A = this chain, B = another copy of it.
């Protein structure tokens, strides 16, 4: 397959050769995604308030996360559940960014909100439910800010690449792909983490490939194992849900790691990053630590 000379249907996303790998830089934060770096994004599913956000951000940064995630506008299956704090959450994210020096990643779910979200976010996330929302893809394609594009839970790898192409044809080539599990018959996990998508994507595209082990698992006890597997398979980074008090989380309580569990994950991750010949990109002033015990 790698030697297939047939033109790909996604010319902008397609890798030209095995050395072709895009990086995405945030110079003011001294953060680079892609290349030899393995980068970890962490934070709460939803921004529930300024204090919990700051507490989470400081905690995950101390453990080695370099970007902060947090939902302001939440796509929720039921119209009767918490839908996010909206613009107030964006304000909190901006404040905590200033305090911690962490770039922020947050989701946009409506074409009409793209400009607003872009005023605050360093990376705009297009969620799994919107991977086929071509109007939204075009709109974030007009920005000059990176987009984290999650794979739809019933999308093929090829469709994910075509969705990236929708963004890139509008001029925005800073796209980060994110595998987050697909829907299958298996019920032991919330989704089935398609780890093979990582090496397949790395062969097909020059774009960085991230993994969201929290949504793939839907249960905290295997998030670390999936994170290690993702890095071993060649992923460029992880996006992980962390909450200071998971049982109180307003969304995704079952899959949010505590700060302690996240710290343990990061300790266990370091040797796998080294085994993969990669560098764990940690915040300035934070040291990589080795596992207290074998994973």
Contact = CB atoms under 8 A, between A and B. Distances in A.
Interface of A: 1-2, 9, 75-80, 109-113, 129-130, 132-136, 152-154, 156-159, 162, 165-166, 169, 182-189, 192-200, 203, 216-217, 219, 221-222, 225-226, 228-234, 271-272, 274-277, 291, 294-295
Nearest to A277: B294
A289 to B, nearest CB: 14
B189 A192 contact: no
Contact of A199 (B80, B222, B234): B222
A169 B76 CA distance: 14
Given A182-B184, A272-B275, 15 more contacts: A75-B132, A76-B134, A78-B162, A79-B169, A130-B133, A157-B188, A184-B184, A192-B196, A196-B216, A200-B222, A225-B233, A228-B232, A232-B232, A272-B272, A276-B295
Contact of A78 (B111, B165, B197, B226): B165
Nearest to A273: B275
Count of this chain's copies in the oligomeric assembly:
4
Nearest to A195: B195
Contacts of A203: 221-222
B196 A188 contact: yes
Contacts of A130: 132-133
A135 B232 CA distance: 37
